[in-house]
Structure 1
């Protein structure tokens, strides 16, 4: 189906047809990473995109987005960038005023407007991890978001493992394999993956407090290369198409995680990006 022409933007109907042509199926469980800017003009913006996704998935489908937060961590690369150049006194003051994570109110950091639109939806459920939460809409939302262990970012006690069990799909809507969070589950499934310490500020026992924990050292620096290899090795697991003006991919999450688990031992050393 053609896209809107002239000065008109994409409509919900346009987007629904294009998403269906890409391969979205009714009743699916779908993890979405999106750059709405890449779609071009959309009438109604992110709300319209969400409606199109839900329409394509139908009433039995579930849509999930990462709603990660870095503003409450002082061990993240984002935090170090914010305090770069500040005096010791200014750094200490900045740290004292960092807000604790609240799953009901804390906005996501750098996840995009669609993720925030889903997080703020009145029917949305959000997992409780203070750094790597996910928000979900649909009949599988409870199963996906429940019991996200606070010391497991993206492993067996996280929504990614539940999505694996549900044989979910991943939609890269105008973004590349660099954004494919599910690859991290492959890191957790390695034999003795490297670990590191993380620290963030939370609200517990009625007060603001800092909490430190150990978890797998997350590294997404080679996800572009991993994704390219996955697409070449298993082309049937990846559908490529255009939605609006955006190049998009629809992936089988199980295949992607399994490929990552096999790929990491022979393609990377023990390096880790900060979160």
Structure 2
């Protein structure tokens, strides 16, 4: 089996990364940063997001596993004290693969420039470069509403516990192939109205945002912030691709939610 390791970059994470690499090499596994079968992320959820984007071109061939060196993560389920167990599991145990839905973003341009396509593990947001964001929201090709406000967030089920939750969105189990559209500080008065609630769209529905009076936008793809100019439309849907996590033991989603937001321990 071929493996690669990504680190948060702090001294603790780097020390663990070198230790894991040494152990796995001792088990005669092959270190391969270009075509790994498994990627071990050492740090936190942000580190795993970086790893996902680094290897998003080979999602059907690479599985991910996380070791968290800070707070408990939604993607990083092993702690530093367990790395010997993890190494033995990777070297000796066929792992179970758990797949989570991803968000596909396609940005089209007014000048006929080639469209841009992205995958997000957590979410994508759209905000105006300057002033209020004004967007026509189409669902399945039909006009739904004209949004005015600070921005819009489109999240995956696994990303529903991140920025989406802070915006008042619902927490969705990642076994459900869906995306969620959540408003960021919408303007609602006697003149302007939006639905005012998060929208959960199933896998066969597409959400398209069409600019009304501006064409330049800040678009985030997980941790990346990009400036797109002369935008004609932004299309969001559940991606055909999925991320694959290597599971060597149960890691129940609702327990992660409880431990992250409710438990005091």
TM superposition score normalised by structure 1? 0.24
Structure label with greater radius of gyration: 2
Q: Which has the higher strand share?
A: 2
State the TM-score, normalizing by the size of structure 2: 0.24
Higher helix share: 1
